[in-house]
Structure formats: structure tokens, C-alpha cells
Structure 1
Amino acid sequence: MQCIFVNDKPIYLTTKVEKETDFKNFLLKDVDLDLVLHTLSKKSINSVRLIGHSDDKLLKSFKKKLPNVVAGGGKVFNDKGEILFIYRNDKWDLPKGKTEKRETIEETAIREVAEETGVSKLKIIKPLPITYHIFKRNGKSKLKITYWFEMHSSFKGNLFPQLNEGITKVEWLDQEAASEALKKSYANIKLLF
């Protein structure tokens, strides 16, 4: 079952029809996404399920329904095992951003982490799960597809939040502080921990 977040509420892509309780079912094939987003905004609804016929075609079908924005980001560890976090819009987040022309997704992830935090000496260790979320820009809904990578850096210099991107803080957080920060983060970021 694939999951796409709208704020902190999930849209599940599935082939199984279940009896509705605190969620609503819609057929993926001809769903009105504005109706789905409106339904998710109701307090009594915790999630939406979009029902399709074939597991391997669910995500592909959904991606065709919205403009896609591809991004790369990092869950960066330092030599002490601390994790690099950014603070933006009153939420803790991990650094990420959109791809640029002729850039691999790995290059995007490293560039964006460096730009948003001031951290250099970044090395990709392994890929992490891809996350999906819907956001609105200029009144239009878009699907952000973020490719995440576990990274390491031995960087010991000053951290610089990218203020023009709305980032107000950058911090290395130990496991305990990271667990606390995740309480004030996004659902799709929590999937990476």
C-alpha cells in the first residue's frame, strides 16, 4: 500500500476495498482530487483510500493526476551520530529541494542539503524510502516526490540556515532531541526514522 500525505493525513493507494469508518473510499480511475482534498479536510476523516485494480499500477496512475515536482534530500549524520535538522514554518524538517536541469537526484540531494544548511563534505551512504506529499502553490495542487538519502558529513563548521527559503534554524540533534523534534515535524519525515 503506497501512501501520499496531505499535511499529516494520508491518501492510501490500494486494491482492497474496506468498510468505511474514519476514512473514505474512492475509485482511483476517475477520482476528483479536489473532492478528495476537501474530504481530507474534515475532522471526522483520518484518511482516504484510492482503490485501483493492480498494485503495480497504483502509483503510476496517481502520478498522472497532478503535476509532479521531483526533489532530493538528506538524513545527514555527523561523526557523533547526530542528525541534521532544519526548522521552517514552525516545523522541524530535513533538508531537501527541487532538481535542476541535467542534475542527478543524488547531485540534487547533496546540493540542497549544502544550500539549506551550510554543511559540506557530504557523502551518500544509501538510499532511503521515497516520500510523496501534495502541496498547493498559487492555488494549484502538486505532487512532491522526494528521493531521500542517508548521508554522512565530518563537517564541524558553522551552520547557516537558508533564510530566503524560510529556514530559521539548522541544528545537529542527538537521538533524544531528534525524537522530540519529530513530534513537531511532518508525517512523511517520520517515515524516515
Structure 2
Amino acid sequence: MYKVFVNDKPIVLTTKVEQEIGFKNYLLNTVHIGKVIKELNNTSLKEVRLIHKDPDKLLKKFLKKLPNVIAGGGKVFNDKGDILFIYRNDKWDLPKGKIEGNESIERTAIREVTEETGVNGLEIVKPLETTYHIFKRNGKHRIKVTYWFEMKTSFSGYLYAQEEEGITKVEWLNEEQTIEALENSYANIKLLI
């Protein structure tokens, strides 16, 4: 099962057909993805489930429905165990960004964290879940596929918010502050934390 978010409402990719209570089922092969996005954005529907009998083909078939944007990002811990957050579009988020050229996804994640926050000395500890969300750019819907990595750093220097990317704050948040920040964050980020 996979979850692809439209704002904070999920499109659930699954092999199971269940009775529709607060959600709708559609067959993945025949669904009109534009209608699903519109339905999630404009109704009280909590989620949509796209059904396909082969679990190995669920994600692959879905990703063919819209252009994909590949990104890498980091859940970065400092020596105190605080997590690095950015504030953009009036929400708390983790640093991430699009792959450039033929760089590896790990290189993308490290580069983007550094560009968006000013933090360097990053070391990847392990890969985390991959997240999926649908967004609109220049009037067209796209699926952002973000490969996340847990990272660590001993960096204690100046934090720099990359304003040209719409970032207004960069902060190390402790456990209590993280819980508070997640109340004003994205569903994908809540899954990672």
C-alpha cells in the first residue's frame, strides 16, 4: 500500500476493495486522475483508493498517470538530537529539492539541505521512506517523488534561509518543538517524523 497526498488528503494505492465509508474506490487502470484530484480538493471526501490486483504494479502504473519530479531531502539531526526544519509557505517542512542533471539522489539530498539551510558537514545515516505528493505548477499537475535520508551533522554555525526558494526560517527543533511544528506541517512530513 502506498499513499500519495493531494494537499493533506491521501490517494491510497491498494489491492483491497473495501466498503466506501468516507472514501471512494476507483480502478487504477481506468481512473481519470484529474477528476480524483478535483474531487479531493473540492469535496469533504477524506481519501480516494485506487485499486489494482497486482501489488507489484500499483506504484509503477500510478506514476505513469502524471509527470514525475524526482527530489531528495533530509531529516537532519545535530549532536543534541534536534531536527533541522525549514519554514516555507506558512508551514514547517524538511529541506528537500529536485535532482539536477545526473547526480545521485544522495548527492541531491545533501546539496539541497545545504542550499536551503546553510548546514554542511552532512553525513547520510540511512535511507528513510520515499514520499509522494501531487502539486500543480504552471497549470499542470505533477507527482513529486521525494527520496528521504536520515542525516547527522556536528554543524553549529549560522543557519541560512534560502529566501529565493520561499524559505523564511531555518531552525533546529527539539522534541517538544518538533511536536508543536508538526501541527502546522504536511502529512508526508508527519509520516517521516
TM-score interval, smaller chain: over 0.9
Q: TM-score, normalised by structure 2?
A: 0.99
For structure 1, the 5+ residue unaligned runs are none
C-alpha deviation, 1:39, in angstroms? 1.3
The CA distance in 1 between the partners of 2:65 and 2:35, in whole Å, is 13
Pairs aligned (count) = 193
Tell me what 2:5 maps to: 5
Runs of 4+ that moved beyond 4 A: none
The CA distance in 1 between the partners of 2:189 and 2:38, in whole Å, is 23
Tell me what 2:127 maps to: 127
C-alpha deviation, 1:30, in angstroms? 1.3
**SS at structure 2 position matched to 1:191:** helix
**SS at structure 2 position matched to 1:56:** coil
Aligned ranges for residues 24-103 of structure 1 at < 5 Å?
24-103=24-103
Tell me what 1:142 maps to: 142
Please say if residues 6 and 41 of structure 2, whose CA atoms lie closer than 8 Å, have aligned partners that are also in contact.
no
**SS at structure 2 position matched to 1:189:** helix
C-alpha deviation, 1:43, in angstroms? 3.8
The CA distance in 2 between the partners of 1:38 and 1:140, in whole Å, is 13
The CA distance in 1 between the partners of 2:41 and 2:95, in whole Å, is 27
Aligned ranges for residues 105-124 of structure 1 at < 5 Å?
105-124=105-124
**1:96-129: CA deviations, max 9, x gaps?**
0000112000000000000000001000000000
Identity across aligned pairs (percent)? 67
For structure 2, the 5+ residue unaligned runs are none
Superposition CA RMSD, Å: 0.7
The CA distance in 1 between the partners of 2:72 and 2:42, in whole Å, is 31
